[in-house]
Every structure is written in C-alpha cells, then in structure tokens.
Amino acid sequence: MRAPKKLHGKGRGSRWLKPDCEWLEYQRVTCDKTTLQIASEVGTSSTTVLKWFEAEGLYTVYRVPETPSKEELERAYSGQGMKDAGKEFGVGVTTFAMWLRIRGIPAKREGQPRTDHPAEGTLIWRARQLMKASGIPKKCTWCGTKDSGRWRKGKQLSLSGHHKDHDLSNEDLENLQYLCLACHKLESWAWTAWKAGKIQLTGRDRSMILEFPKRTKDIKAPIVRGSNWKPRESRRGWEARDVLGDSGRPRVCEWCNYRATFLDKSLCTHHWNHDPFDNREVNLSYLCWTCNILEGWIWNAWDRGKVLVEEIGDGSGLIISSPL
C-alpha cells in the first residue's frame, strides 16, 4: 500500500507521487473519509484527490455526512467562520451553511450590517455614508439605476460614491453623487484621458463633450502595465494588425494622435463594432491603451442603454449625455 508523497514544489506547481489503488480504497471505504478529509490530512486540494481516484478508475460519490446536532454546530461556529468550522467536520462552506439553516442557527451576518467591506473607513466609503445620512436617493445620477442593496461577490456594491472633482478630501454634498459601475468607470477613464492630455473634456455632470485634438508631437502614454509585460495577441488580433499594416496606415492613435515607434507596443488594434472576427479595413484602427479602454467603457455603457452617445458633426469628438 503506497501513500501519496510530495516530491517538490508548492501550491498549484507542486508534484506528487500518486498513491496506489489499495491506499485509496482503504481511506475511502475502510476509514469512511470524505474527499475533503483526505485532502486535509495529506496537505493538498480535493481536486487533486479526485484526480487520483479517477486515475485508478475509482469514481467516488460525494457523501454528505449526517447533520450534527445544534450544540455541536454552535460550539464549532463560535469564534470562527464557516470555512474553519466546516473543516472540523470535513465539509465545505456550502454544506456547513446548509446545516446551519437546518438547525435554525442564524449566520453571523444575517440581520446585522456588514463590517468587513474592503472600502470601510476610506474616503469613498465615508462619501456613501454622508449621502445616505443626507437622504439622497440611492440611484445612479446618470442612468437612474437603483441600489439593489445586495453585495456583489462580497466586495463591490451596485452603486459607489463618486467625487465630481476627483478630490477625495472634498466631502461637500454638492460634490458627491451616486454612480453605478458602468457610469463610474466611464467618467473615471474620461478624466484619466483628460489628465494625460489625450482629449479635451468639457462638463462632467450627466453630460460630457470629448474632443480629440490634433497634436503635432508625441504624447507619452501613462504606464498601465508592468515592466515585464510582453505582447500576447490571439490569432485574430494578429490578423487585424496585419490588415492595418498592409494598408499602409500610420501607427497613430485615432483619437489622441499618439505616434508609436517601431518597437513601441502601446498601440492596440481596435474593432469599432467590437466584433473580433470582422477584420475589414474600415472597421479597424489604432488606439493607444488609454483611449482603447475609454472607448470600451463608452461602448459598454451605450450598449446597456445607460448613456446616449452622439458624434460631433466633423468627427472631432463625442457628446455623451444621460438618457434621463
């Protein structure tokens, strides 16, 4: 009977000497252990243990242990979270939460305000509290999306507190507003492009005018990636870049007129209809990193009906306004 042995590495890059069929049957049948219990004793993940069973042709059926008593659950749940409490019984968070509902034990956050939000205590979190105390309606100022009051993956709320002048220390109520995620990203990236000198921005309260100036000198693009960054494009991306290269179009950003050198990788190949398979020359253009991300958020907000986008007559800019 051969037990598993760790050869080298750690985490996902670790390598194991697989156990034999006899050891797996002993742990699963004789000792009546769950996959999670075996993984905890060995020091690996339950996914790795399942792969060991499949390699030996042993397909396990997930067995939910018998529901513990209310006293046992309260003892394990006191002073620790569901994850650590579930490990005492060899189950995960989902099974332990089901046991709590069966025994009628309320979760620690049920009926109580959540206090572990990552932004709690920050200036953005304080802005939300000030607007909440003043009675400002919880809806996006631009598109009118209402706050659902639910947590998104435990980190992000549907509405966020926004400072109009981007000065987090300015907590005047006239400077604060609610914005949904799409509108907040659009406004923030428009402000970022304006600060970088790439566009001219007029008005930022429910209506913006983005003008693309024609520049005669290069603009240094802001660093939005690490120093070890390497270009990784799909086959479709390279096909689009080849189409632009064969057309003889200069390597210049369509919006801010940033001119890239031969070795500069700060220009992106952009599809105007956002269809990566449409590599027609009229649908392709060069955009720098900042303008490409800004255009993506503009299209995202427009596609979801959150803003209205109108092009200036001579094509020198965009007018973004609220549908309200």
Cβ contacts of 206 within 8 Å, gap of 6 or more: 141, 142, 321, 322, 324
CA 261, CA 258: separation in Å to the nearest integer? Answer: 10
pLDDT at 144: 84
Q: Is 284 exposed, middle or buried (0-12, 13-18, 19+ CB in 10 A)?
A: buried
pLDDT band at 234 (very low <50, low <70, confident <90, very high): very low
pLDDT band at 256 (very low <50, low <70, confident <90, very high): confident
CA 244, CA 119: separation in Å to the nearest integer? Answer: 44
pLDDT band at 153 (very low <50, low <70, confident <90, very high): very low
Query: Is the pLDDT score of 43 beyond 80?
Result: yes
Contact in structure between 293 and 300 (CB atoms under 8 Å): no
Does the predicted TM-score (pTM) go above 0.85? Answer: no
Mean pLDDT calculated for residue range 238-249? 80
Residue spans of beta strands (DSSP E) within the chain: 5-8, 15-17, 151-152, 156-157, 159-163, 176-180, 200-202, 207-211, 267-271, 284-288, 308-311, 317-321
pLDDT at 13: 65
pLDDT band at 59 (very low <50, low <70, confident <90, very high): low
Query: Is the pLDDT score of 88 beyond 80?
Result: yes
Q: Which of 47, 7, 64, 52 is nearest to 27 (CA)?
A: 52
pLDDT at 122: 61
CA 218, CA 266: separation in Å to the nearest integer? Answer: 12
| Residue range 101-112, pLDDT digits in tens | 888 888 765 444
Neighbours of 286 (CB within 10 A): 22
For residue 208, list its beta bridge partners.
320
Mean pLDDT calculated for residue range 175-189? 87
pLDDT at 195: 86
Sequence ranges of the domains in the chain: 5-55, 123-181, 200-321
DSSP letter, residue 123: H
Query: Is the pLDDT score of 281 beyond 70?
Result: yes
Name which of 106-120, 177-191, 267-281, 286-300 the model is least confident about: 106-120
CA 200, CA 210: separation in Å to the nearest integer? Answer: 6
pLDDT at 211: 83
Most confident of 17-21, 80-84, 203-207, 290-294: 290-294
Q: Compute the radius of gyration of the chain from its Cα atoms.
A: 28
Most confident of 34-38, 79-83, 250-254, 290-294: 290-294
CA 259, CA 288: separation in Å to the nearest integer? Answer: 9
Q: What is the mean pLDDT of the chain?
A: 76
pLDDT at 214: 56
Q: What share of the chain is helix, strand, coil (3-state, %, to 5)?
A: 35, 15, 45
% pLDDT > 70, the chain: 77
pLDDT at 62: 52
Query: Is the pLDDT score of 196 beyond 70?
Result: yes
Instruction: Give the torsion through C-alpha atoms of 105, 103, 90, 53, to 10 deg.
Output: -130
Query: Is the pLDDT score of 134 beyond 70?
Result: yes
CA 3, CA 16: separation in Å to the nearest integer? Answer: 10
Query: Is the pLDDT score of 309 beyond 50?
Result: yes
CA 47, CA 69: separation in Å to the nearest integer? Answer: 29
Most confident of 11-15, 89-93, 219-223, 228-232: 89-93
- Backbone angles phi and psi of 117, in degrees to 5: -65, 135
CA 257, CA 290: separation in Å to the nearest integer? Answer: 12
Neighbours of 76 (CB within 10 A): 19
pLDDT band at 149 (very low <50, low <70, confident <90, very high): low
Q: Which of 218, 295, 278 is nearest to 250 (CA)?
A: 218
Angle at 292 between CA 125 and CA 242, to 5 degrees: 155
Kind plus residue range of the DSSP H or E element containing 53? helix 46-55
pLDDT: which is higher, 285 or 262? 285
Distances (CA, A) of 67 to 72, 78, 85: 10, 17, 14
